[in-house]
Amino acid sequence: MSWPNDETWSAEKHEQIVATEDGDRFLRVVDCGRLFLPSGKLVACDPFVFLQSSGNPHVLVPPGHYSVSVTLADVSEKFDGSDIREAYATVRIANGSEAYRRVLPLARDRESREPLDDDDEFTGFPVDAATACFVDDEAVARCMPADINWYETLFDNGRDDSWFAQMDDPKHIRVGVANIRLPLARSNENIIIIHSGWGDGVYPVVGSFDARHQLLAVHIDFFVVQ
């Protein structure tokens, strides 16, 4: 069975050891809190390089508040915590028994959302700052300030409330993960940002479905477990 329906798929596996072609991985799941998706336009992108004020490519899910988690993989030889990588990021849409997975194409409004023919191929999204995120596209349009340089004023402004500082704060969630309220939020609109496993690259968005084809979860696969 081929990716993403292969036996090594390990999103949301907690305190388990998985054998991969690159060695064993010890997995655990970290709760990142809840994500508000007022429009259901779920964006996955590198927030520091590719997040736009509106019109970001996205997948469509029912609007709502959803739990987000990151599956961490200890890739050190002795499982001593010396090399921890983010393996998957997951938005849990509904509970149920997973029957299959398929790649979800990211698209803007009015663009084609036809499924890909071959699950071994994907378009994915690029990462150039070793970071990915989940956020609602319309929340970004409403709740991010206009006509300013986000990088200098929000992302890396030298203060403790910068997005970089929050992501590197072990007291927030853990180093490498942050759940941040958007600057102009009125209803707790937020963004969840995550270090991207091995770093820069192109990563796919994958949906988990039940036997009735209901979407159960949306994942980013950082290709740490293969």
Q: What is the DSSP string of 169-210?
A: -TTTSBTTEEEEE-TT-SS--EEEEEE-TTSSEEE-EEEEE-
If you ran DSSP here, which 8-state letter would residue 115 be given?
P
Please state the domain extents for the chain. 16-221
Phi, psi torsion values for 138, nearest 5 degrees: -75, -30
pTM for this predicted structure: 0.95
Determine the 3-state secondary structure of 101 from DSSP. strand
Does residue 112 surpass a pLDDT of 70? yes
Name the nearest CA neighbour of 192 among 90, 115, 62.
90
Q: How confident is the model at residue 4 (pLDDT cuts 50, 70, 90)?
A: very high
Strand 84-92 relative to strand 201-203: parallel, antiparallel, unpaired?
unpaired
Per-residue pLDDT tens over the stretch 77-96: 889 999 999 999 999 999 99
Contacts of 56 (CB under 8 A, 6+ apart): 41, 43, 45, 108, 137, 140
Per-residue pLDDT tens over the stretch 9-56: 999 999 999 999 888 999 999 999 999 999 999 999 999 999 999 999
Q: How confident is the model at residue 160 (pLDDT cuts 50, 70, 90)?
A: very high
H or E stretch covering 109: none
